[in-house]
C-alpha cells in the first residue's frame, strides 16, 4: 500500500505522519513536495498539519494553489482516499475539495489540548472500522480551527451524511461542533484533530487504540479494492 504525504513550505507534521504510517503501520510512504507530480500508483494521499506559507493571508489559501493540488483533485475525483489533517483540512476547504471554511478560534489564541471526537459517519475510507457514535480521545492544535458553514450548507452536510466527526465538547464554537467532514462521495476527509499524535501509547495519556482505527480503516479499504 503506497501513501503519498504532500509537503508544503511550512508543513511541520509531515514527519509525524510519515513515522506513524511507516513505523507503526508498516506502509510504503513517500514525501511529495508541493511542486511535484503525484504518481498514478498511489493508494492514498495525506495532507499533513502545519503552517503552510506561514498561514499568510489565511490558513491554507496559498497552499491550495500549489501545483500539486491539481493532481490531488484529479485523484480525488477518481475516488482515491484523501485525508487532510489540521492545516491539511484547511487546504482542502480552500481548494474547494470540501465545503466550508476554517476561521480563527473565538479565543483568538492557539489551542493545544486533548479532547474527544464522536464518530458520526462510519462509511468513509478512514472510519469504516468504527461503530457509530464511538468516541476517540485525540489532541487538537490549531489557531484557525473553527469550522463554519451557513445554515443551508449545514443542512446539506447533514442530508448527505458528510459530517464525519463532532467534538464531544465545545472546544472552539465550530458550527454544530463539527471537527471533520467529507465530500459527497466520502473519499475525501478533512479533520482538525491530529490522529497521528494519538496512535502510540507512549504519547497518548488516555487510549491509543481508537485513533489507530482511522489508519486501520484506510488499510482495510485499500486492501478490499485490490
Q: Is residue 211 classed as helix, strand or coil in its secondary structure? A: helix
Answer for the pair 31, 7: CB distance below 8 angstroms, yes or no: yes
Burial zone of 39 (CB within 10 Å; 0-12 exposed, 13-18 middle, 19+ buried): exposed
Q: Of residues 94, 120, 144, 196, which has the active-site annotation?
A: 196
Q: Of residues 13, 34, 86, 182, which has the active-site annotation?
A: 86
Q: Is residue 29 classed as helix, strand or coil in its secondary structure? A: strand
Q: Is residue 90 classed as helix, strand or coil in its secondary structure? A: helix
Catalytic residue flag (residue 196): yes
Q: Of residues 13, 94, 120, 194, which has the active-site annotation?
A: 194
Residue 32: in which H helix or E strand, if any?
strand 28-33
Answer for the pair 204, 139: CB distance below 8 angstroms, yes or no: no
Catalytic residue flag (residue 86): yes
- How far, in Å, are 13, 43, 67 from residue 61 at the CA level? 18, 26, 13
Nearest residue to 48 via CA among 14, 75, 18: 14
Catalytic residue flag (residue 94): no
Cell numbers found for residue 136: 476517540
Answer for the pair 167, 181: CB distance below 8 angstroms, yes or no: no
Query: Annotated catalytic sites, by residue?
Result: 86, 194, 196
Amino acid at each position: 500500500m503506497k501513501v503519498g504525504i504532500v509537503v508544503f513550505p511550512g508543513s511541520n507534521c509531515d514527519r509525524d505522519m510519515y513515522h506513524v504510517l511507516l513505523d507503526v503501520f508498516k506502509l510504503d510512504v513517500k514525501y511529495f513536495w508541493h511542486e511535484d507530480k503525484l504518481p498514478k500508483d498511489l493508494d492514498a494521499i495525506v495532507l499533513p498539519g502545519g503552517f503552510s506559507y506561514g498561514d499568510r493571508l489565511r490558513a491554507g489559501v496559498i497552499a491550495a494553489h500549489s501545483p500539486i493540488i491539481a493532481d490531488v483533485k484529479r485523484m480525488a475525483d477518481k475516488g482515491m482516499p484523501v485525508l487532510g489533517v489540521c492545516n491539511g483540512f484547511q487546504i482542502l476547504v480552500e481548494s474547494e475539495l470540501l465545503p466550508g471554511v476554517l476561521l480563527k478560534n473565538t479565543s483568538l489564541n492557539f489551542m493545544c489540548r486533548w479532547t474527544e471526537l464522536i464518530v458520526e459517519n462510519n462509511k468513509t475510507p478512514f472510519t469504516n472500522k468504527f461503530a457509530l457514535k464511538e468516541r476517540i480521545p485525540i489532541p487538537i492544535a490549531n489557531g484557525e480551527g473553527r469550522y463554519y458553514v451557513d445554515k443551508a450548507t449545514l443542512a446539506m452536510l447533514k442530508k448527505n451524511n458528510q459530517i464525519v466527526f463532532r467534538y464531544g465538547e465545545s472546544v472552539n464554537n465550530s458550527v454544530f461542533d463539527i471537527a471533520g467532514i467529507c465530500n459527497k462521495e466520502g473519499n475525501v476527509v478533512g479533520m482538525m484533530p491530529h490522529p497521528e499524535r494519538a496512535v502510540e501509547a507512549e504519547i497518548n495519556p488516555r487510549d491509543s487504540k481508537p485513533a489507530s482505527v482511522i489508519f486501520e480503516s484506510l488499510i482495510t479499504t485499500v486492501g478490499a479494492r485490490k
